[in-house]
């Protein structure tokens, strides 16, 4: 089945550690996105990429980094510079060849907790 | 800049009654509008999207949405609510006037929690 796989589902991080969240898609979508979800704040865009080896900052990129070495993969690293990383992280992807009314597909999310 | 407002943090409705979840948007050009649903600790599932020219859009699980250009609204509706509809609902928008690498990014509202009471 085609889809987006995020791993792990739950992740615990100690203060000062970097952690990497995985996002893999087999939908052959060009664009991939990372969102952060906090209660009552909706989804906020961290980073996005529309092509391999290229990505752009979203609204809340500070303390995060990404790479896009393969079309299928868009890992997110939460660095120690991110002061409040506890949140639910969602990866999404979309096609770029069907026009702007094409919907995005989401993974099942990773819940990151700082301990 | 594009933006979305969901004015109600929570909507409560009795099972079997009609439900409405409100969404208003702001864009520079024509909007591309979407509704998603999220169950606890899960990703977002696509429900429906606005298609130019169809002011009433039908989607998954019996949901529909009414587009009103003059009121810049895209309210989600269902004629008869089910307990299983209880979830968090998000409205999202793309603006056709945004060009370049950022043109396909979605802007989301803060979400509305729908509770259907048996």
Instruction: Quote the pLDDT of residue A1.
Output: 60
B36 vs B44: CA distance, rounded Å: 6
Contacts of B52 in chain A (CB under 8 A): 101
Place of tokens 């079997």: B16
| Mean of the per-residue pLDDT values of chain A | 93
Average confidence (pLDDT) over A5-20: 93
Instruction: Quote the pLDDT of residue B87.
Output: 97
To the nearest whole angstrom, how far is the Cα of B108 from the nearest Cα of chain A? 6
| Mean of the per-residue pLDDT values of chain B | 92
B35 near B90, Cβ under 8 Å? yes
> Does A100 sit within 8 Å of B104, measured CB to CB?
yes
> pLDDT by residue (tens digit) across A24-67?
999 999 999 999 999 888 899 999 999 999 999 999 999 999 99
Distance linking the first and last C-alpha atoms of chain A: 35
Contacts of A88 in chain B (CB under 8 A): 41
> pLDDT by residue (tens digit) across B57-82?
999 999 999 999 999 999 999 999 99
B33 vs A99: CA distance, rounded Å: 13
φ, ψ for residue A20, nearest 5 deg: -120, 130
Judged against a pLDDT cut of 90, whether residue A15 lies above it is answered with: no
Of the listed ranges A96-110, B28-42, B98-112, the least confidently predicted one is B98-112
């Amino acid at each position: 089945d085609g889809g987006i796989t995020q791993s792990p589902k739950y992740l615990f991080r100690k203060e000062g550690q970097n952690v990497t969240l995985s996002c893999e898609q087999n939908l052959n979508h060009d664009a991939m996105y990372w969102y952060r979800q906090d209660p009552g704040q909706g989804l906020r865009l961290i980073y996005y990429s529309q092509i391999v080896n290229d990505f752009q900052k979203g609204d809340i990129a500070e303390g995060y980094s990404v790479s896009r070495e393969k079309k299928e993969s868009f890992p997110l690293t939460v660095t120690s510079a991110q002061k409040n990383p506890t949140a639910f992280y969602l990866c999404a992807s979309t096609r770029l060849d069907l026009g702007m009314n094409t919907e995005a597909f989401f993974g099942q999310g990773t819940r990151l907790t700082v301990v | 800049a594009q933006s979305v407002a969901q004015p109600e943090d929570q909507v409560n409705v009795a099972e079997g009654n009609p439900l409405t979840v409100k969404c208003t948007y702001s864009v520079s050009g024509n909007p591309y509008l979407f509704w998603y649903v999220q169950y606890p600790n899960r990703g977002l599932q696509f429900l429906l999207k606005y298609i130019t020219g169809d002011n009433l859009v039908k989607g998954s699980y019996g949901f529909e949405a009414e587009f009103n250009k003059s009121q810049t609204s895209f309210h989600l509706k269902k004629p008869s609510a089910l307990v299983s509809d209880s979830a968090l609902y998000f409205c999202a928008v793309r603006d056709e006037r945004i060009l370049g690498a950022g043109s396909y990014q979605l802007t989301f509202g803060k979400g509305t929690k729908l509770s259907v009471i048996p």
